[in-house]
Amino acid sequence: MAFQLAGKKYLVTVAGRGIGRELTKTLSEHGCKVYALSKTKETLDIHSAECSNIHTIQADVGNWNEMRKQLSNTEVLDGLVNNAAYATEGKIPSLEVSKDYLDKIVCANLFGTINAIQIIGSKMVAARKPGSIVNVSSLLSLQAIPEYLPYTVTKCGVDMVTKQFALELGPHNIRVNSINPTLVLTENIKHFLASGDNRDKLLLERTPLQRAAEVREIVNPILYLLSDYSSMVSGTTNVIDGGLMSSFG
């Protein structure tokens, strides 16, 4: 499908791996100028080597001031995709989650999303530039899962950030939506599946389509939300779960 994105300019955060990496490459292939942000130089170097229209920015999405500094000179864009999805310490009972770990996940997943929208969105508003912002949330913003409190709470927050900015940026013709995927077959998820993680097995057993999502099955809906095909779509959470939510209850 031709999403007619050629000539558009976007920022993709956490662009060095998984969904972010595939999305950055795909936007580039569609003729977009892409700013790829990651804290890992090696992954950014790969992007630079692959595509001349990918411009790299090294920054930690969880570091508020560093993000502001690194993005301060960015040109006015047509939008961005917030792709932070940190949950680095695995299974932790909710009664045992430390404040330090909560701080880390909140800063990356929630504050990082708000920060990027404020930086890029302010420039779009000042320039009277219409556009689209997509936040990569999660199915787990809508459904609790054992021992995953920091992730589920922050992704639930991302959904409300989406609605709040959709409300306030709508008059400026800037749309804001969330994508809420189930398990996606990134390298990290493949590792978890191979390790026999019970949470992942629980989700797959309840999925009517009986499989996890391929990365492209998340990237394509993001392209739709960035494009003018979704010109009346804003403030929505878009569940991509193979029917999983229909089996809870």
Tens of pLDDT, residues 89-119? 668 999 999 999 999 999 999 999 999 999 9
d(CA 182, CA 93): 21
Tens of pLDDT, residues 176-234? 999 999 988 887 767 666 666 666 677 788 899 988 899 999 999 999 999 999 999 99
User: What region, left, alpha or beta, does residue 8 occupy, with left being phi > 0 and alpha being psi -120 to 50 degrees?
Assistant: beta
Tens of pLDDT, residues 143-152? 888 899 999 9
Domain layout of the chain by residue ranges: 9-185+214-239
pLDDT category, 246, cuts 50, 70, 90?
Answer: confident
Which pair of tokens denotes residue 45? 């170097």
Tens of pLDDT, residues 159-181? 999 999 999 999 999 999 999 99
Tens of pLDDT, residues 116-142? 999 999 999 999 999 999 999 999 999
Residue 210: the pLDDT is: 87
Class of domain 9-185+214-239: alpha beta
- Counting residues of the chain whose pLDDT is more than 70, the rounded percentage is 93
Tens of pLDDT, residues 8-62? 999 999 999 899 999 999 999 999 999 999 999 998 988 888 888 999 999 999 9
| Cβ burial, residue 177 (10 Å; 0-12/13-18/19+) | buried
The torsion angles phi and psi of 140, rounded to 5 degrees, stand at -80, 5
Catalytic residues: 151, 155
